[in-house]
Each structure stands twice: as structure tokens, then as C-alpha cells.
Chain A
Amino acid sequence: MNHDMSASLLLVAPELTLTLAGLALLIWAAFFGDRHATGISIAAVAALVGAGALTSLAPAAGGNAFDGLARVDAFSTFAHVLIYFAAAVAIIIAPRFFRAHTPGGHGLMRAEYPILIVFAAVGMGMMVSATDLMTLYVGLEMNSLAAYVLASFIRTDTRSAEAGLKYFVLGALASGILLYGMSLLYGFSGTTNFAGIAAAMGADFSGGLVFGLVFVLAGLAFKISAVPFHMWTPDVYEGAPTPVTAFFASAPKVAAMALTVRVCIEAFGPTTLDWQQIIIFLALASTILGAVGAIGQRNIKRLLAYSSINNVGFALIGLAAGSEAGVAATMSYMAVYVVMTLGSFLCILQLRDAGGAYVEDIARMAGLGKARPWLVGAIALFMFSLAGIPPLFGFWPKFLVFDAAVRAGLLPLAIIGALSSVISAFYYLKVIKTMAFDEAPADAPQWTAEGNAVETGLIGFTATAISPLGYLAIAPLAYLSGNAALALFR
């Protein structure tokens, strides 16, 4: 018993570290307040880095923790590293934004921000290693509760408050749907364990289990913002403070996607043909609506929200294949997607006028190319990469998911996905055209060139990673994502 317990605790060492760090930082914040926000942020990033290093303790063969409540394997480690990276970036980019963001705000970095990100990271860590409906739900809610607060973090800003409220109400609805599905799965299989559910589904896939599967997938689709459960995404992404939007678009997406993959493969494994239909529909609807919906957007954050819906659709194409190669492609996709998205949001954070106000309106960005050529170059790089145009690294994961889909006999899905990526290229190109070639309007903002070494460095890093130089990373990425997928199909 004691040996089991200590072995389990060792397996979840990253989560333990983050929990203890989060609690310690909470007390630090309570006693010293926002004056120590910088120190707390640095400590939070250090905790995330430490937790990332601790993931290397995971045994190569994987290990079950707490009597099968959680499983630590190559798959969870892969997702952990991505999540901690995105969370750390979300903390690093925040202070400058909150200090500069004055409209109705306080111009102050609050000490709670890094702490909430750390707690969200704990929840996401639990999500990706969950092998039981209970762990799944607790992890999901830990992440969501922190996210609701983060969305409305500038509470004096009505848009931010609205984003938080919308996210909370719709998120609670989605949690309800998920819980209903979980209760059906439990009721008809008699267990909350993924392996047990899989065994029950393999024996007799009857009415209650079908509905349980459908409701669980609907709840998870909401969390990854796949169409038709995407409606909250543009509003929340637009209203939430930009560093929080960058966080939402990266870490929780990876966690929810990894969770969906694990549930589909491990819990619903024997009924692949049944969940495949749902995933195919989600993938098709997300790629098409994500591409078409973005065309009319005038706000760059809303545009990136549709872009993230579109990208989730592509990642789901890999899962729809239902094969080991497909899962590996999905995980590769999420890795590259996180880098591209964080890079895009980092660039948006540089778009400030002389008064220090952030510019989000795409039309007002006309003429930016003359004022900030390097920045527009970086944005163009990220947009081309998000569109999946070949010399850039964004092309590679798209190729991987299409390849997996074609090999699994889903040729029409791959073709429609490729066509929708053509549509999405239109709006990415439109943004670049407005910035680089259009004449500056009369009321164009006076762009400030004032930069920040850390953020510029991060832009440089992410831009290099998605540039053709990124192709050097294909071999390690294929190795890591292949191992991750293998861990699910063991």
C-alpha cells in the first residue's frame, strides 16, 4: 500500500510540484500583494520549467498511478511539455500587457495571474494523464475554473467581463453535457475506468453506451471548440485580455485535444467505427466553418479564434483516421500549432499605438509594413505557416494528418480538408495584404517601435521554429509523437 502510494506520487511529481508551488505563491500573493507580481511570475515560470523537467522521470514503459485513476506515459509526457511551455509563455507575455492596458483598467499586473495559470496547468496535466472519468472531470474543471477567472481578468473592462461570463455559462453547460454522458457510461458499463468502459463497449455496444459516447464527445468538442460547439470561441477570444487569449488558444487546446484522443482510443477503442463518424463530422464542420467564418472578421483576435477552430478541425482529421499514425499526426499538429499560435499572439501584442493602446482592428493596421517591416515580416511568416503554405513548417503537420487520413481510407475527408485550407489561405493572405501593401488610412495609429527583449526573443524563437529551419525538427518530432501514439495503442 505504502509502496503503491509513493510510486503513484512519484509518477505525478510534475502536478505535485505545480500544486505546491501554486499554493506557496498564493500565500506569497496574499501577504505581499501586487507589488511582488514580478517575483511571483518568475517563480511561477520556474515552477513550470521544473515541472517540465520532472516529466522526464516518467518511466519509458508508462505507469499507472492511484489504482488506475491516471496513467503517465509517453503520450501524457508529450502533452505535458507542450502545456507547460505554452503556460510559461502566457505568464511571460502578461506583465507588459497588463501594465500598459489602461482603458478602464488599473494598469497593474496582478499577482493572481501567474497563480491561476499554474493551477490551470495542474488541471491540464491531470486531463492528459486521466484514465478514469473521475480524474478526467476533476482535471477539466480545475482548468476551466481558472480559465473563467482569467477570461474576465480585467474586471473593469466590460468586454473582458462579458467574455468571462459567456465562457462560464457555456462552459458550465458543456460540463453538464459531459457529466450526463459520463453518468450514462458509468450506468451502462458499471465502471468509470477507461479500460473497463472499453471492455463493456466491446461486449455489448447498446443504447445507453451510444448516448454516453455521444454526450461525452459533445462535451469534449466544446472544450476543443470544434464546430458545432464553437460559438463561444470568437466572443471569448475577443473579450479576454490578449495574453489570456494566447493561453486559451494554446495550452487548454492541447490538453483537451489530448484528452479527446485518449478517451477515443482507450475508452471507446472497440467502437472505433462509431466515434469515427462523429470525429469526421466535427473535423469537416470545423475546417469549413473555421475557414468561411474568418473571412468577414474585422478584429484580429476574432480572426485568430476562427483560425484556431479551423486548426482544431485539421488536428481532428488525424484522430478521425483512428490509427496510430493518425494519433501521432494529431499530436505533431498540436505541437506545431502551439508554436504558430503563440507566435501570432506575440506579434499582436506588439501592435500598440503611440498612446500605448492596443490595436486589434485589422483595417487600422493598413500601412503597418512601412512603420514596422520586421514585425509585419514575422506576422506574414506566422500567417503563411497557419495557412499551411509549403516552405514553412505549418505545412508539415497538415501533410501528416492528410496522409494518415488517406491511409485510413478517408480520401474524401482529406480532399475537403485540403480545399478548406485553400479558403482559409484567403483570409490569412488578406491580413498580410492589408498590413504590407495597403495605404495607411488618415486615422492610422502612430505605431510605437518600443519593444521588449524577452518578447522579441520569443517571436524570434517561434518564427525560427516554424520557418523552413523547422524541418530539422521533423525527426525528433516524429520520434516523440510516434512514441506518444504508441503508448495509447500498447
Chain B
Amino acid sequence: MTDLSQYLPILIFLGIAVGLSALFVFLPMGVSRLTGTHNPDAAKLSEYECGFPAFEDSRSQFDVRFYLVAILFIIFDLEAAFLFPWAVSLQDIGWAGWTTMMVFLAELALGLVYAWKKGALDWE
């Protein structure tokens, strides 16, 4: 039988997390009712979902340009994700690691040049 007492820290963590998040949800609700700012309308009651109406056919059309921007964002987001572990371990990986990352960045830059030249960055 495993010793359940070793899971005590996570139990405490979960308790505090649930308590705090409940506080964050219900405290503003209570305060607004008590202070008289409770004044709901249709826009306030709708759920927030990235700017799109939430209960609509998910196959609705949207501008393909959003897609391009999203793709370019993902690429550079991932680049940043690679850079952090590289930066903290640079002492250990030495010049080989430094050169590799520079090659990677140069390749990304060439890709950006291509996308730029192709007009992927122009909204109009």
C-alpha cells in the first residue's frame, strides 16, 4: 500500500486553489450586488470567447488572413520557446550549440524574408 501521506502537499495545494478561485468568482458577484453596480444586460451576460459569438456554427467563414497571421505567430512563438532552454544551457553546449541556434535563427529569418516578400504581412 502506498503511503498516502506523501500526497498531503498536493491536497493542501488543491484546497487552497479551489478556495481562492471560488473567492475570485463569488467575491465580485457579492460585492456588485451589495454596492448596487449589479446591472446585467445581454452583452454582459454572454460568455467571452475570443471575439466570436460562442454558440454559432463552428464552420462559419472567417478571413483567411487571420490564418496567415496565426501561422506566423506560432512559428515565432515556438522560436522563443526554443530560445529559453538554449539561453540557460549555453554554458554547457558551447560554441556548437551557439552556432546551431544561429543557423536556426538564420533559417527562420530567411523564411520571414520569403513570407514578407510574398506579402503575407500585408493586411490589404
Could you list which residues of chain A lie within 8 angstroms of chain B, going by C-beta atoms? 1, 5, 23, 26-27, 29-31
Chain B 73-114 per-residue mask, 1 if CB under 8 angstroms from chain A, else 0:
000000000000000000000101000000000010011011
Supply 5 A–B pairs (Cβ within 8 Å), ascending by A: A23-B107, A27-B113, A29-B114, A30-B114, A30-B117
Report the bound CA distance from A49 to B94 in whole Å: 35
Name the residue on A nearest B111 (C-beta). Answer: A26
Of listed B94, B117, B118, residue having the most chain A CB within 10 A: B117
The 3 closest A-B pairs by CB, nearest first: A30-B117, A30-B114, A23-B110
Name the residue on B nearest A32 (C-beta). Answer: B117
Residues of A within 8 A of B94 (CB): 1
Residues of B within 8 A of A26 (CB): 110-111, 114
Report the bound CA distance from A27 to B109 in whole Å: 11
Query: Least Cβ distance of B54 to chain A in Å?
Result: 25
Residues of A within 8 A of B110 (CB): 23, 26-27
Residues of B within 8 A of A5 (CB): 96
Contact in complex: B117, A31 (CB < 8 Å): yes
- List 6 additional contacts besides A27-B114, A31-B117; criterion CB under 8 Å: A23-B110, A26-B110, A26-B111, A27-B113, A30-B113, A30-B117
- Given the interface pairs A30-B113, A31-B117, the reply to whether A1 lies near B96 with Cβ below 8 Å is yes
Main secondary structure of the interface of A (DSSP, over half): helix
Query: Least Cβ distance of A399 to chain B in Å?
Result: 46
Report the bound CA distance from A152 to B113 in whole Å: 23
Report the bound CA distance from A23 to B113 in whole Å: 11
Query: Least Cβ distance of A211 to chain B in Å?
Result: 25
Name the residue on B nearest A31 (C-beta). Answer: B117
Report the bound CA distance from A349 to B110 in whole Å: 35
Query: Least Cβ distance of B97 to chain A in Å?
Result: 11
Report the bound CA distance from A5 to B110 in whole Å: 24
Name the residue on A nearest B96 (C-beta). Answer: A5
Query: Least Cβ distance of A294 to chain B in Å?
Result: 35
Report the bound CA distance from A30 to B110 in whole Å: 10
Report the bound CA distance from A1 to B113 in whole Å: 33
Report the bound CA distance from A288 to B12 in whole Å: 61
Query: Least Cβ distance of A3 to chain B in Å?
Result: 12
Query: Least Cβ distance of A6 to chain B in Å?
Result: 11
Residues of A within 8 A of B111 (CB): 26
Residues of B within 8 A of A1 (CB): 94, 96
Name the residue on A nearest B107 (C-beta). Answer: A23
Residues of B within 8 A of A23 (CB): 107, 110
Report the bound CA distance from A386 to B111 in whole Å: 41
Residues of B within 8 A of A31 (CB): 117
Report the bound CA distance from A23 to B105 in whole Å: 13
Query: Least Cβ distance of B109 to chain A in Å?
Result: 10
Name the residue on A nearest B115 (C-beta). Answer: A30
Name the residue on A nearest B103 (C-beta). Answer: A19
Residues of A within 8 A of B107 (CB): 23
Report the bound CA distance from A344 to B17 in whole Å: 65
Report the bound CA distance from A369 to B114 in whole Å: 48
Residues of A within 8 A of B113 (CB): 27, 30
Residues of A within 8 A of B96 (CB): 1, 5
